[in-house]
Amino acid sequence: MIAMSSRTNMKTMSRWLIFLSVLLGIVMVSFCSDAEETEIITGQETSPNYIPEMGQFTRSGGTNTGGGRGCSSGNFCTAGKQGPGGTYTSTFDLEDNMTIDQINRGFDMNYGVDVESHPSNSVLASCVGGNVMQNSDCRDIFNLTVTLLDVDNVVHKFEHEIELDFTGTRPFAFSQVIPENTFTGLRGEFELFGIDAGFPTGFFGPRFDNPFLTTTFDLVTILETEVLNIIDLQQEVEVVDIQEIEVELEPVEPEEVEIATEIVVEEIETVELEIEIQQPVEPEAAQEEMEVTAEVEEEIQEAEVAEQDVAEQETPTETASAEEPEEQQEEQAEPAQKKTVAQKVKEKVAKKIMSKMNDKSKYDSTNQVRTLAVMGVLGNSRSFFNAQATLQDTPGFFSGATIPDSTLPTNNIAQYLMFGGSNQAHSEIVNSQWK
């Protein structure tokens, strides 16, 4: 078990070392400005078919797709000497499935078509001297031509002429290698030609079906040269197999150990705790407010007593009417006298307390509390918030008349006076400048 584990760990470590070496190489290459690029072919890809179905081909000469003599419906037939023969043509663009770089690297091109031959071709002889226009029937001929163009210049042209010497349908396929090039673009033409050689009427010539053209090109990945060198170096590193080492370990017999423990339980004395709940201390602001309130009330009482004495001394006795009893005069004068005294006292106390406040410190916390206390004591709290008299609107202040909307009456005279007078004044200003 130990040997196998060691071997596995060593292999894993070797793989990690190789990975880290490659990664280090990539990082080093990224900082090297003079590193060369190398293309590596990682695989190949084959394009889809560039050629459409026969129904999308352009037709010329003697062609027929059914209904003519010798051609059933759905077939793409060709004529004899009266055409002479028939041609089917289609175009394609290699850039539909390839990039310019892939085209310039070169590629393989495969193309072909299925051809149906008339049964007579298996027994007829070849045309004399290849003359398909001879007066006697001979073996039919078909041509397949692929032309490649860079812009409008023909760069490659591949022609295949086949003599039909069989009966039924046979597939024909061809392959070409397009070498490395500098084309700026690449498009092509796919042409099929067939003729019923030596026969003057009908559409008994070659019949075409399933045309195709594909390309096979390389898939390329660009790597730095230094990275490739590092990879090659790592491939040369030999991984040394670790030899298995068997280690026998003798079992160790555990010794018996006696542990003597004594548990001592001590009694815990019970302690009675007396908890005193203290009342919360009033905040400093509340204490200041109570002190200021008491001070104000005390000053008010002192001022009331003094003011009452002064008022009694200044009140004349002859103000009372001789006709009214003395007791009634005293009852009527007492409330008015108290009201006057209370008002004077409040004013004096307010001035006295406010004069004690320094201008620099009148906005501190103590003076603010003092001000609130004075307002609470001196204010008429019972009648302060009584309902106030409601202001009454003047009757007839608002009328129902409205300004006419969207239409304004025209006043030609006012317009003339306004604009004419303005123009005249402006002219006088201009003339005064020129004078």
**pLDDT surpasses 80 at 167:** yes
DSSP, res 127 = P
CA distance 165 to 123: 8
Output the pLDDT for position 199: 92
Which range among 188-197, 264-273, 289-298, 389-398 shows the weakest confidence by mean pLDDT? 264-273
CA distance 211 to 193: 13
CA distance 301 to 303: 5
Location of structure tokens 């091109």? 109
Encode pLDDT of 367-405 as tens digits: 777 777 667 666 654 454 455 567 777 887 777 777 767
Residue type, 160: H
Which range among 158-167, 216-225, 257-266 shows the weakest confidence by mean pLDDT? 257-266
Mean of all residue pLDDT scores within the chain: 76
Distances from the Cα of 430 to the Cα of 113, 366, 419, 420, angstroms: 98, 73, 17, 15
Output the pLDDT for position 322: 45
CA distance 33 to 295: 92
**pLDDT surpasses 60 at 141:** yes
Which range among 104-108, 110-114, 117-121, 280-284 shows the weakest confidence by mean pLDDT? 280-284
Question: Which whole number is the average pLDDT over 127-150?
Answer: 93
Question: Which whole number is the average pLDDT over 109-127?
Answer: 94
CA distance 97 to 214: 10
**pLDDT surpasses 80 at 360:** no
Output the pLDDT for position 174: 97
Which range among 146-150, 325-329, 356-360 shows the weakest confidence by mean pLDDT? 325-329
Q: Which residue would you say has higher pLDDT here, 233 or 321?
A: 233
User: Do residues 209 and 171 touch, judged by C-beta distance below 8 A?
Assistant: no
User: Do residues 125 and 231 touch, judged by C-beta distance below 8 A?
Assistant: no
Residue 339: band (very low, low, confident or very high) from pLDDT cuts 50, 70, 90: low
Residue 123: band (very low, low, confident or very high) from pLDDT cuts 50, 70, 90: very high
Encode pLDDT of 72-104 as tens digits: 888 999 999 888 999 999 999 999 999 999 999
Distant-in-sequence, close-in-space partners of 138: CB < 8 Å, separation ≥ 6: 124, 125, 126, 127, 128, 132, 197, 198
Which range among 61-65, 113-117, 401-405 shows the weakest confidence by mean pLDDT? 401-405
Residue 171: band (very low, low, confident or very high) from pLDDT cuts 50, 70, 90: very high
CA 28 to chain centre: 35
CA distance 202 to 194: 13
